[in-house]
């Protein structure tokens, strides 16, 4: 069997609910291959990285192991027993299907029909029992960047999506297919990465966190312990298209004037929360909350697998003139123990130029 992934666009389903109400919207269903049962990796599958196109220490190597792999492990711990992005091979920047070896490599975009990524999979016979995957090869377009992108601007720069494309393709590798609704999988992100990642700790701003339906799909395929993970996003779905919630640019504004912001909050774990803190802050540093000014505080209930998008009117406080980034933070009191804390902060695509 062959599974081809379509061109990846980061996606966020959004149900507009009043902030503070439960965001338990029904996510679009995940898809999987059914062959006398769901097709999965029955044994530990080693995905080998091509050292020619993704050399040791490269951004793409870091994105594969410390980011995308751990992104799936965080929301679906059961995948850790069946999948490992470890080991390398060297074949002159090539990838070979149907050779019994699971391979990850960067290739020319033309080699994968202009797509961002493509995953080729093959499973065993399922005449008498549930089939298992016997080979999976993951190919990424080699003209993308693999450093931490800024989620707020993904809809403007397709070439920056290397990290989230890897997370998307690994979803196919473990057995998830495209959904019927939007043919996409979602990975959340926050601030640009600070300080790198190591040992499976994803750091601030890692983009390998699957959206709610895909996280549920991975847990269905590979049952394991339950997890709790809230996240906030600066993107939403409008008219069927994913885009930044707020205007991507700078607004000239005076102290005391009002402006509106739109944000999305979700929970891609198995445990909801009856009340969690949320706040909006202004800071002149897009990558930090240090020294930020809090301009809005609220509480919200978010069911497991739920999410909502909300718009709130804010008032510009008395701050010195300058350019300010708008930051969103969920679980602002850090009261909820989560498998991943780095996706609880994000900044808007919009900035304020306070000049009067």
Dump pLDDT digits (tens) for 190-206: 433 333 333 333 333 44
pLDDT of 165 reads 84
Q: What is the pLDDT of residues 77-88, one digit of tens each?
A: 999 889 998 899
Is 301 a member of any domain?
Answer: yes
Examine the domain organization and report whether 101 and 72 are in the same domain.
Answer: yes
Is 2 a member of any domain?
Answer: no
Please check the confidence at residue 145 and state whether its pLDDT lies above 90. Answer: no
What average pLDDT does the segment 326-344 reach?
85
Residue 323 in 3-state DSSP?
strand
Instruction: Give the integer Cα–Cα distance in Å for 108 and 325.
Output: 37
Query: pLDDT averaged over the chain?
Result: 79
Instruction: Give the integer Cα–Cα distance in Å for 101 and 267.
Output: 35
- From 206, 223, 240, the end of a domain falls on 223
Is 342 a member of any domain?
Answer: yes
Examine the domain organization and report whether 258 and 175 are in the same domain.
Answer: no
- From 174, 201, 223, the end of a domain falls on 223
Is 274 a member of any domain?
Answer: yes
Examine the domain organization and report whether 89 and 196 are in the same domain.
Answer: yes
Residue 345 · residue 191 · CB < 8 Å? yes
Order of all β-strands in the sheet with 258-267:
230-233, 258-267, 307-315
Packing angle, helices 212-221 and 162-174, rounded to 10: 30
Is 193 a member of any domain?
Answer: yes
Confidence class of residue 208 from pLDDT cuts 50, 70 and 90? low
Examine the domain organization and report whether 177 and 237 are in the same domain.
Answer: no
Please check the confidence at residue 185 and state whether its pLDDT lies above 80. Answer: no
Residue 305: which CATH number?
2.60.40.10
Examine the domain organization and report whether 188 and 300 are in the same domain.
Answer: no
Examine the domain organization and report whether 212 and 273 are in the same domain.
Answer: no
Is 25 a member of any domain?
Answer: no
Q: What is the pLDDT of residues 90-115, one digit of tens each?
A: 988 889 999 999 999 999 999 999 99
Is 218 a member of any domain?
Answer: yes
With residues binned 3-state (H G I as helix, E B as strand, rest as coil), the percentages for the chain, rounded to 5, are: 15, 35, 50
Confidence class of residue 155 from pLDDT cuts 50, 70 and 90? low
pLDDT of 239 reads 59
Instruction: Give the integer Cα–Cα distance in Å for 325 and 330.
Output: 17
Q: What is the pLDDT of residues 263-307, one digit of tens each?
A: 988 888 888 888 889 999 999 988 788 899 999 999 888 888 888
- From 223, 254, 278, the end of a domain falls on 223
**Domain span including residue 295:** 231-354
Examine the domain organization and report whether 208 and 244 are in the same domain.
Answer: no
Domain count, the chain: 2
Order of all β-strands in the sheet with 273-283:
250-253, 345-354, 322-330, 273-283, 293-302
Examine the domain organization and report whether 74 and 135 are in the same domain.
Answer: yes
What average pLDDT does the segment 341-352 reach?
86
């Amino acid at each position: 069997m062959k599974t081809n992934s379509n061109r990846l666009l980061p996606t966020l389903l959004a149900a507009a609910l009043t902030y503070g109400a439960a965001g338990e919207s029904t996510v679009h269903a995940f898809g999987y291959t059914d062959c006398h049962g769901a097709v999965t990796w029955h044994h530990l599958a080693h995905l080998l990285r091509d050292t020619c196109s993704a050399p040791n220490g490269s951004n793409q190597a870091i994105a594969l192991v410390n980011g995308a792999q751990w992104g799936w492990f965080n929301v679906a711990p059961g995948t850790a027993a069946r999948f490992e992005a470890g080991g390398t091979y060297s074949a002159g920047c090539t990838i070979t299907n149907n050779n019994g070896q699971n391979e990850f490599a960067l290739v020319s975009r033309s080699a994968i029909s202009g797509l961002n990524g493509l995953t080729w999979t093959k499973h065993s016979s399922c005449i008498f029992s549930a089939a298992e995957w016997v080979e999976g090869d993951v190919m990424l377009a080699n003209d993308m960047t693999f450093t931490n992108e800024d989620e707020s601007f993904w809809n403007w720069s397709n070439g920056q999506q290397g990290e989230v494309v890897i997370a998307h393709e690994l979803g196919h590798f473990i057995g998830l297919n495209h959904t019927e609704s939007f043919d996409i999988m979602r990975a959340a992100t926050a601030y640009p990465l600070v300080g790198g990642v190591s040992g499976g700790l994803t750091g601030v701003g890692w983009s390998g966190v699957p959206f709610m339906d895909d996280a549920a799909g991975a847990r269905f395929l590979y049952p394991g312990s339950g997890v709790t993970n809230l996240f906030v996003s600066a993107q939403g779905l409008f008219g069927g298209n994913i885009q930044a919630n707020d205007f991507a640019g700078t607004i000239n504004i005076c102290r005391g004037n009002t402006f509106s912001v739109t944000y999305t909050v979700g929970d891609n774990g198995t445990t909801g929360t009856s009340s969690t803190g949320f706040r909006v802050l202004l800071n002149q540093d897009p990558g930090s909350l240090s020294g930020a000014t809090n301009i809005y505080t609220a509480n919200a209930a978010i069911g497991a697998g739920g999410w909502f998008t909300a718009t709130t009117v804010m008032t510009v406080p008395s701050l010195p003139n300058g350019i300010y980034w708008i930051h969103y933070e969920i679980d602002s009191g850090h009261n909820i123990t989560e498998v991943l804390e780095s996706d609880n902060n994000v900044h808007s695509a919009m900035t304020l130029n306070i000049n009067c």
